[in-house]
Amino acid sequence: MLDYTAGEPIEALAPRIAGIVDKFEEWNEVEQLYQQEAAIELPEYGPYEYEGAPQFSILSDYEDTLQLLSIAILLRDQCSVRRIIHVLRSHRGRDGLFEQLIGAYIEDGQDLDTCIIGKPYSTLLQVFYEDDEKTTLKLLQKYLKQWYPAMKNHPRWHDEHLHISEEGYAAYYGYWAFEAGATVFMLDLDNSQIEHLVYPKDLVDYARQLWKEGRHSSVEMKPSAEREPGE
């Protein structure tokens, strides 16, 4: 995200997403070991059942996961998208926006009209259910305006641009509503009038160019996505 914010060419960044998804899977595998040990030590809470590492009820987990999924969608990296969905399979049927974003990659999509974190995500979810394009674009613009203020409780990066200096460290690497870009791409919306600072227009244009050329960053599912985490 820092390199994207700095303007590094998307073509150069695209191959790196697979390695990031590798780390996402590794994090999940470690979490599964922890869950299995906890089930043994605390049998009164029931046996181990698979639960993907990100907790959608936590803003930072939810937004970071949506960003990772949306970037993979916009890079047309089918392999990475499927790997992410596999890790998140325990979250199926719980969140409307997540279901809409993965709808093109699964056969058993579910229509849910609510998000686990309502503000601002319910506004973006409405975009998928609106037939009138003018209303759709208004909702999208509304979401983009709501997005940054709604991130005020994000523990790592909110307002970090205020701390940038030559002497000190700031956890600023760009503010991007990638899920809004993925929504525009998936619904083929006209984004010519969208100029909001957090909207990744060039990444949407990149996805559209790949689609026009019939290209993907990857198509086949990586073998690791076919096994259970921890195996």
74-112 pLDDT per residue, tens: 999 999 999 999 999 999 999 999 999 999 999 888 889
User: Residue 102 falls within a domain, yes or no?
Assistant: yes
How far is residue 23 from each of residues 37, 119, 134, 143, 175, measured CA to CA in Å? 21, 28, 40, 30, 22
Q: What's the rounded Cα separation, in Å, for the pair 68 and 213?
A: 24
We report the CATH number of the domain holding residue 90 as 1.10.3920.10
Look at the pTM and tell me if it is higher than 0.85: yes
User: Residue 231 falls within a domain, yes or no?
Assistant: no
For residues 164 and 124, the model is more confident at 124
Q: Taking the CB of residue 19, how many other CB atoms lie within 10 A of it?
A: 10
Q: Give the chain's radius of gyration (CA, Å).
A: 18
Enter the tokens of residue 194. Answer: 């969208």
User: Residue 24 falls within a domain, yes or no?
Assistant: yes
- Average pLDDT (172-183) is 90
**167 — pLDDT class (breaks 50, 70, 90):** low
Q: How confident is the model at residue 216, as a pLDDT? A: 87
Into how many domains does the chain fold?
Answer: 1
User: Residue 40 falls within a domain, yes or no?
Assistant: yes
51-77 pLDDT per residue, tens: 999 999 999 999 999 999 999 999 999
User: Residue 178 falls within a domain, yes or no?
Assistant: yes
User: Residue 19 falls within a domain, yes or no?
Assistant: yes
- Average pLDDT (42-54) is 95
**40 — pLDDT class (breaks 50, 70, 90):** very high
Closest among 10, 4, 24 to 229, alpha carbons compared? 24
Domain that holds residue 121: 15-226
115-141 pLDDT per residue, tens: 999 999 999 999 999 999 899 999 999
181-216 pLDDT per residue, tens: 999 999 999 999 898 999 999 999 999 999 999 988
- Average pLDDT (38-45) is 94
Would the pLDDT of 222 be above 50? no
